[in-house]
Amino acid sequence: MKVLLAGGAGYIGSHTALALLNAGHDVIIVDNYCNSSPESVRRVEQLAGRPVELYEADVRDSSALLSILSGSRPDSVIHFAGLKAVGESVQVPLAYYRNNLDATLTLLECMGKTGVRNIVFSSSATVYGEDAPVPYVETMPRGRCSNPYGWTKSMIEQILEDAAVADSDLSVVLLRYFNPVGAHESGRIGEDPRGIPNNLMPYISQVAVGRRECLNIFGNDYPTPDGTCRRDFIHVMDLAEGHARALEYGAGRKGVEVFNLGTGTPYSVLEMLHAFEKACGFPLKHAFAERRAGDLPEFWADAGKAKRILGWQAKRSLDDMCRDAWNWQEQNPMGYQPS
Ligand code: NAD
Ligand code: UFG
């Protein structure tokens, strides 16, 4: 299959590109590098031993996108292109609505004009909202999101559902990611956040490599077994392989389907820290700090539907996630920038 990855130079997109190339698919990437660089794609090509068709363009630029789609004629699109920092979305909500919604609308319009009928969308567990009971099951309704980033995901799901009602040939697969972490086993590609990391795993990795002094653990008085929040951390290569299954599934049908991509097992912030210390072989400086606004005490996936219907389940362990995250960070202390 020929697959266009919008936002494919980013963290999840680059790992998915590699998984797709390894599964024999052809990959086209469109990215404006607002949160990535072409270096990730160069490394994906090296690892796969095959080229990627790479375009630098903003997905909101309909004339650029139309010319790429009509020239390359993909069978399916995976839509990763979006801004994703929760805290930043509270500061600059309009930038988040503008980028994430416009990118989706432009992509759908251009797909319509060029006859591309299959789309897989990077959604998030955040759409279950603040009040959903755990574990999250796909049959639950979307809930009230706690920040503009989350609302963009919820709104885009609605947009895609409406588009599929209006166009009965459209196939939409909504993938609700839980907490992707880790890196490809080679250590050649991985997560490379700009500035101070917002997310737990890259922060821990940067403490380990000496770029940050101390991990602040946001809250140790939650109603959880050790008082720190619990999340469903999933190895990014498991997630990437889930995309390959979802693509194949979506290409053979019409209408909307939604899948959780998680492991079904939560780990606490302290458990993550200790697993990482085991992987890197030394203790990491940490301190307890105030709770972070908007954090939920715990959530994890019911991962049964993806297993039943896609035949996919996460197979990599917490130790694998930490080993691979450390391998990437140790080999690339400054990420994709030369150190
Ligand atoms: P990322 O920032 O590494 O990747 C997103 C990519 O999209 C980047 O390469 C960026 O340059 C590109 N992009 C953004 N806007 C664009 C535009 N208008 N035109 C072209 N390219 C554009 O993020 P990621 O972690 O790889 O996430 C991929 C997707 O998955 C995002 O939509 C994100 O919201 C979603 N998601 C991520 C997580 C997570 O924890 N990483 C969790 C749930 C959902
Ligand atoms: N945490 C710390 N210290 C840090 C960073 C994080 O203690 O320096 C804690 C947080 O307080 C939280 C846990 O680690 O308890 C996980 O936080 P992350 O920021 O890594 O992940 P979140 O669960 O907050 O959010 C992530 C993505 C969102 C997505 C959500 C659900 O960032 O995009 O998962 O999929 F919506």
Rounded distance from Cα 7 to ligand 1 centre (Å): 6
**71-113: pLDDT as tens digits:** 999 999 999 999 999 999 999 999 999 999 999 999 999 999 9
Along the 339 residues of the chain, how does pLDDT read in single tens digits? 999 999 999 999 999 999 999 999 999 999 999 999 999 999 999 999 999 999 999 999 999 999 999 999 999 999 999 999 999 999 999 999 999 999 999 999 999 999 999 999 999 999 999 999 999 999 999 999 999 999 999 999 999 999 999 999 999 999 999 999 999 999 999 999 999 999 999 999 999 999 999 999 999 999 999 999 999 999 999 999 999 999 999 998 999 999 999 999 999 999 999 999 999 999 999 999 999 999 999 999 999 999 999 999 999 999 999 999 999 999 999 999 987
Cis peptide bond prior to 135, omega within 30° of 0? yes
d(CA 322, CA 111): 38
Cβ of residue 154 lying under 6 Å from some atom of ligand 1: no
Look up residue 251 and give its two tokens: 């290409």
In ligand 2, which atom is closest to the CA atom of 269?
14
Residue 76's nearest CA partner among 236, 241, 245 is 245
- 8 Å CB contact between 5 and 243: no
* SS3 (DSSP) at 240: helix
Rounded distance from Cα 88 to ligand 1 centre (Å): 14
Whose CA is closest to atom 4 on ligand 1?
10
d(CA 42, CA 50): 10
Whose CA is closest to atom 13 on ligand 1?
81
Annotated catalytic residue: which of 96, 128, 149, 177? 149
- 8 Å CB contact between 211 and 283: no
d(CA 46, CA 110): 31
In ligand 1, which atom is closest to the CA atom of 153?
34
d(CA 239, CA 60): 26
Angle (CA) 72-183-295 rounded to 5° is 100
DSSP state of 133: P
Residue 298's nearest CA partner among 168, 150, 130, 181 is 130
Tell me the ligand closest to 266's alpha carbon.
2
Is residue 149 annotated as a catalytic residue, yes or no?
yes
- 8 Å CB contact between 233 and 179: yes
Look up residue 17 and give its two tokens: 């590109």
For ligand 1, pick from 4, 36, 79, 80 the residue to mutate: most ligand atoms within 8 Å of CB.
80
Tell me the ligand closest to 95's alpha carbon.
1
Listed in sequence order, the residues at least 6 apart from 186 whose beta carbon sits closer than 8 Å to its beta carbon are 47
Whose CA is closest to atom 36 on ligand 2?
126
- 8 Å CB contact between 324 and 235: yes
pLDDT of residue 225: 98
Cβ of residue 34 lying under 6 Å from some atom of ligand 1: yes
Whose CA is closest to atom 1 on ligand 2?
200
Cα dist. 19→25, 26, 156, 173, 267 in Å?
Answer: 9, 11, 25, 18, 26
How many of the other CB atoms lie within 10 Å of CB of 138? 16
Cβ of residue 104 lying under 6 Å from some atom of ligand 1: no
Long-range contacts of 330-338 (CB under 8 A, 24+ apart): 330/187, 330/208, 330/209, 330/280, 331/187, 331/188, 332/187, 332/190, 332/192, 333/209, 333/210, 333/211, 334/211, 335/190, 335/192, 335/193, 336/37, 336/39, 336/40, 336/192
Whose CA is closest to atom 29 on ligand 1?
80
Whose CA is closest to atom 12 on ligand 1?
7
pLDDT of residue 252: 83
Angle (CA) 114-8-130 rounded to 5° is 100
Residue ranges lining ligand 2, Cβ < 6 Å: 84, 86, 124-126, 177-179, 198-200, 203, 215-218, 229, 231, 269, 292, 295
Tell me the ligand closest to 219's alpha carbon.
2
Rounded distance from Cα 196 to ligand 1 centre (Å): 17
DSSP of 245-295? HHHHHHHT--EEEEEEES-S--EEHHHHHHHHHHHHTS---EEEEPPPTT-
d(CA 267, CA 318): 9
Tell me the ligand closest to 236's alpha carbon.
1
Rounded distance from Cα 226 to ligand 1 centre (Å): 32
In terms of DSSP H, where are the helices of 34-185? 38-48, 62-72, 86-91, 93-114, 148-166
pLDDT of residue 14: 98
